[in-house]
Amino acid sequence: MNSKFYRSLYRIRRVEEEIARVYLIDKIKSPVHLSIGQEAVSVGVCEALRSDDIVFGSYRSHAFYLAKGGDLKRMIAELYGKITGCAKGKGGSMHLIDRAHGVMGASAVVGTTIANAVGFAYALNYQEKRSIVVSFFGDGAIDEGVFHESLNFAALKKLPIIFICENNLYAIHTHQFQRHANPNIWERVRSYGIPAQRIEGNNIFKIYREVSKAVKTLGTRGTGPFFFECMTYRWKEHVGPGDDFHLGYRAEEERTPWVKNDQVKRIASLIDPKKRQRIENQVEEEIREAFEFAEASPFPKDFELYSDVFKKSK
Amino acid sequence: MNSKFYRSLYRIRRVEEEIARVYLIDKIKSPVHLSIGQEAVSVGVCEALRSDDIVFGSYRSHAFYLAKGGDLKRMIAELYGKITGCAKGKGGSMHLIDRAHGVMGASAVVGTTIANAVGFAYALNYQEKRSIVVSFFGDGAIDEGVFHESLNFAALKKLPIIFICENNLYAIHTHQFQRHANPNIWERVRSYGIPAQRIEGNNIFKIYREVSKAVKTLGTRGTGPFFFECMTYRWKEHVGPGDDFHLGYRAEEERTPWVKNDQVKRIASLIDPKKRQRIENQVEEEIREAFEFAEASPFPKDFELYSDVFKKSK
Amino acid sequence: MKRKLLYVDAIREATEQEMKRDKSVIVFGLDVDDPKAIQGTTRGLVEKFGPNRVFGTPLSEDAMTGAAVGMALAGLRPIHVHIRMDFMMLAMNQIINVAAKSHYMYGGQVYLPLVIRSMIGKSWGQGAQHSQGLYSFFMHVPGLKVVAPTTPYDAKGCLIEAIRDDNPVIFVEHRMLHFQKGLVPRKQYVVSPGKARITAKGKDVTLVGISHMQLECIRAKLYLESVGISTEVIDPIWLSPLDIDTISKSTAKTGRLIVVDNDWISCGASSQIVADVTERLQGKREIRVHRMGYAAVTCPPTPPLEKLFYPDGPKIAQAAYRMIKDQKSNWLPRERKDLQEIEFKGPF
Amino acid sequence: MKRKLLYVDAIREATEQEMKRDKSVIVFGLDVDDPKAIQGTTRGLVEKFGPNRVFGTPLSEDAMTGAAVGMALAGLRPIHVHIRMDFMMLAMNQIINVAAKSHYMYGGQVYLPLVIRSMIGKSWGQGAQHSQGLYSFFMHVPGLKVVAPTTPYDAKGCLIEAIRDDNPVIFVEHRMLHFQKGLVPRKQYVVSPGKARITAKGKDVTLVGISHMQLECIRAKLYLESVGISTEVIDPIWLSPLDIDTISKSTAKTGRLIVVDNDWISCGASSQIVADVTERLQGKREIRVHRMGYAAVTCPPTPPLEKLFYPDGPKIAQAAYRMIKDQKSNWLPRERKDLQEIEFKGPF
Ligand SMILES: Cc1ncc(C[n+]2csc(CCOP(=O)(O)OP(=O)(O)O)c2C)c(N)n1
Ligand SMILES: Cc1ncc(C[n+]2csc(CCOP(=O)(O)OP(=O)(O)O)c2C)c(N)n1
Ligand SMILES: [Mg+2]
Ligand SMILES: [Mg+2]
């Protein structure tokens, strides 16, 4: 378990560090929203899922994409705008997808995929499939009406879905306190009759444990939905590769406890150093290959501009 | 007090009965959404307000328009599509307005005026005016995202606004149970940190008393908002003048207790019969005049089609 | 083949037949399962297919449209119903930013076999917020198909086509067409994009009538007959993709094009069609063009103003007459009682 | 009069001056009070005017737009800011069904002095959901004004005009214009609807460039100069109401009209302008017309496809060249480095 966790955590952290490094040479001509510091949520949740379970998320998409098993090569190629990208270069960093691994997409408009996830869960029920859906979103999405409409419907239909709010305290530079009189997201959700709890401290074990319980319960239909508010923290700027403490909207000290409590280091310390080295070597190799793959891949040809507007029906 | 209540209740009831009667001869070429049975909510609330307080509502607009002091002649003329109507015949029954009496409009799209009311309350605060805003809406509006966004903002800014949900159990023909897993509107609202309660039984005194308390509190700024879920019942069909028990979506027995508990009759029984007769005569006379006024008024002239698209700025 | 159905029943039949054919077709939206059954178009479906396949929803246009997208992603073929086009303004984010774009922005990996049915209101004081067309919004954005059938025959064929199409289709109905009667075959058939219908042959002027305005164009044609003008009338049926060829050809023949829309003119379908035909025929054939639509104001509910708000048979006839004979003519046919009820003939 | 400002600073200055003049002007919207201050356009305002007049909001586009309507009803003159046009799809109900209609449907008794500022994104992988124009939606619906200034001078003058206007104004900015520099007078002035600006005089062809495409049209004009073609360039500035007279007159003079839009073509502003001019000049002057805009696909973020997606100077020049000389010509000017930075001159 620990080595699985570690591989996933380390992989996400290192992929994003590489993205941040490469970003400076303008190979990635796309906004990037890094999850550095928040990886534990994606990993804790996705390790509790089966591969045919489905996840939806937002533009801050790298972590859940990778945690769910999304193809790394195709992700980096997508960021490079290459035809080998997971969306042929037509999505970009904010719209990662990997159907084969249950990553059903991500939206640049806050809140939109919550409703899509709910509809998908309805369909799974209707189709009598065993898989479930996870909807990832930030604390900013709570403010949007679609969040409430979606909760209401999911509760009404008792859908097999788990809502994961990654509460990193900020929507861009605006603190939750500036947006909610009562910063009690989980309580709002309970009023719909949905079991909801807050998980403090970016704690990967706790997240994994609680989500696993919910997944198990959802094995019986008509028992959903579930909701978790996972407290976490974004280390980097909202969009882009750098820090942002100079902006003054938050103090570096606010980050300190989260860095001390870094889940990557925490899990690293729990596994055998040799095993750990092996994992790290494998991941580094994979990352090197992925960036090489992206570099070497061609851009889409001109005709691709006009492909994929409509699907031809059979 | 009782006679004031009675005059207002009786007036609304009788106006709508007249509308229903006249409707059959097609003078009113407009959808009409009658509040017969629900008058106690509008009256109980509006009697607690001052004349410079502001109300917003929905297409089911007759009761709160009249309860707030809206001009009867201009209302009936509006239903008749006449130039003397409160919106010159350009609004119709779903968009009644009377600025002089603080009736700031009504929308045919469910939920929309909730946000408008919140913005108005923000402005009153900013302008340091003493008046407050009341936002009327049905149980159907609860389902809409804009309701939640509006509550969140109103709570955040502690606005001088009272939300009144007229819960008549149905949105058109769909019962609240078919729309909410948990029919606990007031509880949802409390999760925003807004004082909220349900008032049972269409009880005009209770409504008046509780709203009066809220109004008083709002005299001190930064104490809002407040929320009341007022349980009530629509006797007639959703739109139009008739009954609708034949449709089968609700049983006539469901109405029985509400008719027994008719607040018009209840208040009637509390006042001196002579006084009552006088009130009734006055109201009947006023109604007769209003319909005559509407009948006698001309339709808008052709040029009115193109007026009022833009206001000329000075 | 001689069976006549109301438009609403044609919709109902198409839905039922497709639901029988394909278990992935489901119907949902506000009030689809209530006693009025969306003017009858969904009558009986919940009894036949059960409440998991046919269900009413909370008043949540945004999330319910988003849910329809999610269902389509999962392989269902949802039909989501709105009782007014106006209410779709609450669902624009999901339609414009998600539904229209998913196939393209995911590089073709996902597709959305989704139908959004919606209705345009008219008369009886529908007024500002229950009368809008607004389908030009959906014609503007790549990735959506738009259809506005006017006859019961096309209603059935287009709905079946829309259900089978693997892309999001905005299906525009008009309340004044709902109780029109016309021949409708019992079997399933499709009316596909790419072919506008010439509903009347003529040689002096081409009238294109969209949605309910098709009926007004047919009325106009009859008025024009009485003054010796021969009118070609075209129903585009599918607005996106649009069969501009048929309209261009007809205009090349008649030399005159009037597009009558059930919507405002500015940046509307009439502007699109007129601009397209102009670009195509310039340098080849001199033509005259004219756009008609809602008056450029909010829809007023009071009957005398509402009458001025909409194009109608006499006004359309007048515009054609002016174009052909004399721009300054005051000729305006008196409304004929016998043209108040027009039944669609066919089969086409 | 020689002072140069960035577009963003012109916006900021206009806002500040108007807020000083009129206490009823307030500014709110997501992130208006954050450290980035909407590209600097709201920088310093909260310090000057306090958090009651300048405030960020929760992510609630629908309700915040509705709140702006309510504030305007109460006599304030709110400026509500969206950082992308795309996000306005969440606010369509309040804009289309409420803001556009209130003055009319309440018989002129209320009015909404409301400005909605919004930005179009481009490049650096903005992609599907951060790149849309969509202002044609607002040009379609009566009751809204729409303006898309391209120069710092017009940005300031139009914003002041919009703030003082008693009707809802959709104020369209383009992120690629935000850091353009140009002459901007210190004093307050207005740039009112009703007057398009002829930004270059010429005789062979009329180019109308909307928003950022104005810049590309000016580039095109320079390319065309090199092959001896004289171009008249028009910036409509206000899209609704639109000064079609100026465009018509210019087209009557040159005989050729190319409208280059920062949006899709179908049912877009380019269709509207082409159809309008065609209707006006038919029978008077034979003209050639052509519309250009986004390719009819979702905006792809990958640079090579994105380049194909947008019109640009060379492509516009090519279209003009073909219209004038030879439809089949392959002439396409090489991009010139010296045209990469174009600064707006003026004052106009
Ligand atoms: C509907 C919408 N409004 C505004 C934006 C601009 N925006 C982009 S990210 C963001 C903040 C979202 O915060 P949160 O949901 O907490 O996610 P986080 O970035 O913290 O992961 C905002 C406001 C948007 N993308 N979509
Ligand atoms: C946004 C929107 N969706 C759907 C409708 C159609 N509709 C009109 S009234 C109504 C029911 C509203 O119920 P409720 O809010 O409880 O008010 P009531 O009619 O009971 O007073 C519906 C769904 C609408 N007008 N607006
Ligand atoms: Mg956040
Ligand atoms: Mg109700």
pLDDT digits (tens, 9 = 90+) for D166-214: 999 999 999 999 999 999 999 999 999 999 999 999 999 999 999 999 9
The token pair that represents A255 in the structure block: 């980050």
Average pLDDT score over chain A:
97
Buried b (16+ CB within 10 A) or exposed e, A176-186: bebbbbbbbbb
Between the CA of B173 and the centroid of ligand 4 the distance, in Å, is 9
Cβ of residue A165 lying under 6 Å from some atom of ligand 1: no
Q: Which ligand is nearest to the CA of A94?
A: 1
Cβ of residue A109 lying under 6 Å from some atom of ligand 1: yes
Average pLDDT score over chain D:
96
Between the CA of B142 and the centroid of ligand 2 the distance, in Å, is 10
CA distances from B62 to B30, B106, B142, B190 (A): 13, 10, 21, 29
More confident of the two residues A18 and C348: A18
Contact D131, D87 (CB under 8 A): no
Chain C residues close to D136, C-beta within 8 Å: 136, 140, 267
pLDDT digits (tens, 9 = 90+) for A218-246: 999 999 999 999 999 999 999 999 999 99
Q: How does residue D1 score in pLDDT terms, banded at 50, 70 and 90?
A: low
CA–CA min distance B272, chain C (Å): 42
| Contact between chains at A89 and D305 (C-beta distance less than 8 A) | yes
For the segment A70-83, the average pLDDT, to the nearest whole number, is: 98
Q: Does B194 touch chain D (CB under 8 A)?
A: no
Chain B residues close to C35, C-beta within 8 Å: 173, 247-249
Cβ of residue C87 lying under 6 Å from some atom of ligand 2: yes
Judged by CB atoms within 8 Å, which residues 104-143 of B form the interface with D? 104-105, 107, 109, 112-127
More confident of the two residues D348 and C28: C28
Tell me what percent of the residues of chain A surpass a pLDDT of 70: 100
Phi, psi of B137 (to 5 degrees): -160, 170
Indicate the burial class of A28 (C-beta count within 10 angstroms; 0-12, 13-18, 19 or more): buried
pLDDT digits (tens, 9 = 90+) for D11-28: 999 999 999 999 999 999
Which of C92, C104, C136 lies nearest to residue D140, judging by beta carbons? C136
Mutate one of A152, A157, A159 to test the B interface: name it (highest B CB count within 10 A). Answer: A152
Spatial separation of the C-alpha atoms in residues B261 and B232, rounded to whole Å: 10
* DSSP string covering C196-251: -EEEE--SSEEEEE-TTHHHHHHHHHHHHHTTT--EEEEE--EEETB-HHHHHHHH
Between the CA of C60 and the centroid of ligand 1 the distance, in Å, is 21
Q: What are residue C248's DSSP bridge partners?
A: none
pLDDT digits (tens, 9 = 90+) for B43-61: 999 999 999 999 999 999 9
Name the residue of B93, B113, B172 whose CB sits within 8 Å of the most ligand 2 atoms, as the mutation to test its pocket. Answer: B172
pLDDT digits (tens, 9 = 90+) for B298-312: 999 999 999 999 999
Q: What is the ipTM of this complex?
A: 0.98
pLDDT digits (tens, 9 = 90+) for C32-78: 999 999 999 999 999 999 999 999 999 999 999 999 999 999 999 99
C4-6 and D181-183: which strand pairing? unpaired
Which of C70, C78, C105 lies nearest to residue A90, judging by beta carbons? C105
Between the CA of A90 and the centroid of ligand 1 the distance, in Å, is 21
Contacts (Cβ under 8 Å, ≥6 apart) of C206: C231, C232, C233, C234, C247, C250, C251, C253, C254, C256, C257, C258
For the segment A122-130, the average pLDDT, to the nearest whole number, is: 97
Cβ of residue A225 lying under 6 Å from some atom of ligand 1: no
Q: What is the pLDDT of residue C344?
A: 62
Chain D residues close to C324, C-beta within 8 Å: none
Whether omega before A241 lies within 30 degrees of 0, making that bond cis, reads: no
CA distances from B155 to A115, B159, B194, C331 (A): 25, 7, 6, 62
* DSSP string covering B231-273: E----S-SSSSS--GGGSSS-HHHHHHHHHT-HHHHHHTTS-H
Spatial separation of the C-alpha atoms in residues D294 and B104, rounded to whole Å: 42
Name the residue of A16, A93, A110, A179 whose CB sits within 8 Å of the most ligand 1 atoms, as the mutation to test its pocket. Answer: A110
pLDDT digits (tens, 9 = 90+) for C66-106: 999 999 999 999 999 999 999 999 999 999 999 999 999 99
Q: Which residues of chain B have pLDDT under 70?
A: 314
Spatial separation of the C-alpha atoms in residues A34 and A16, rounded to whole Å: 6
Chain A residues close to C22, C-beta within 8 Å: none
Q: What is the pLDDT of residue C198?
A: 98
The alpha-helical segments, DSSP class H, found in chain A are 2-23, 39-46, 62-67, 72-79, 112-126, 145-157, 185-190, 204-218, 252-260, 263-268, 273-296
Tell me what percent of the residues of chain D surpass a pLDDT of 70: 98
Contact A104, A118 (CB under 8 A): no
Q: What is the pLDDT of residue D345?
A: 57
pLDDT at D63 over 90: yes
Cβ of residue C90 lying under 6 Å from some atom of ligand 2: yes
The token pair that represents C266 in the structure block: 């500015």
Between the CA of A15 and the centroid of ligand 3 the distance, in Å, is 21
Which of A90, A107, A171 lies nearest to residue D302, judging by beta carbons? A90
For the CA of C90, the closest atom of ligand 2 is 1
Indicate the burial class of B260 (C-beta count within 10 angstroms; 0-12, 13-18, 19 or more): exposed
Q: What is the pLDDT of residue A313?
A: 76
Cβ of residue B78 lying under 6 Å from some atom of ligand 2: no
Q: What is the pLDDT of residue C1?
A: 57
Which of B149, B181, B184 lies nearest to residue A143, judging by beta carbons? B149
| Contact between chains at D298 and C143 (C-beta distance less than 8 A) | yes
Spatial separation of the C-alpha atoms in residues D57 and D59, rounded to whole Å: 6
Q: How many CA atoms lie within 13 A of A116 on its CB side?
A: 32
Ligand 2 atom 13: residue of nearest CA: B171
Between the CA of D90 and the centroid of ligand 1 the distance, in Å, is 14
* Element containing residue C256 per DSSP (H, E): strand C256-260
Q: Which ligand is nearest to the CA of B64?
A: 2
Mutate one of C57, C305, C315 to test the B interface: name it (highest B CB count within 10 A). Answer: C305
Q: How does residue A314 score in pLDDT terms, banded at 50, 70 and 90?
A: low
* Element containing residue D182 per DSSP (H, E): strand D181-183
Q: What is the pLDDT of residue D346?
A: 47
Q: What is the pLDDT of residue C347?
A: 43
Q: What is the pLDDT of residue B84?
A: 98
Ligand 1 atom 20: residue of nearest CA: A171
Query: Model-level pTM?
Result: 0.98
Q: How does residue C339 score in pLDDT terms, banded at 50, 70 and 90?
A: confident
Q: What is the pLDDT of residue C281?
A: 98
Q: What is the pLDDT of residue D338?
A: 87
User: Closest Cα partner for D100 from C83, C89, C301?
Assistant: C89
| Contact between chains at B302 and C90 (C-beta distance less than 8 A) | no
| Contact between chains at C30 and B108 (C-beta distance less than 8 A) | no
Cβ of residue B37 lying under 6 Å from some atom of ligand 2: no
pLDDT at A54 over 80: yes
| Contact between chains at D70 and B149 (C-beta distance less than 8 A) | no
For the CA of B33, the closest atom of ligand 2 is 19
Q: What is the pLDDT of residue D145?
A: 98
pLDDT at C13 over 70: yes
Spatial separation of the C-alpha atoms in residues C279 and C281, rounded to whole Å: 6
Q: What is the pLDDT of residue D274?
A: 98
Contact B47, B6 (CB under 8 A): no
Spatial separation of the C-alpha atoms in residues D64 and D29, rounded to whole Å: 8
Provide the 3-class DSSP secondary structure of residue A232.
coil
Q: Does A190 touch chain B (CB under 8 A)?
A: yes
* Total residues found in chain C within this entry: 348
* DSSP string covering D228-255: T--EEEEE--EEETB-HHHHHHHHHHHS
Spatial separation of the C-alpha atoms in residues D96 and C227, rounded to whole Å: 41
Q: How does residue A278 score in pLDDT terms, banded at 50, 70 and 90?
A: very high
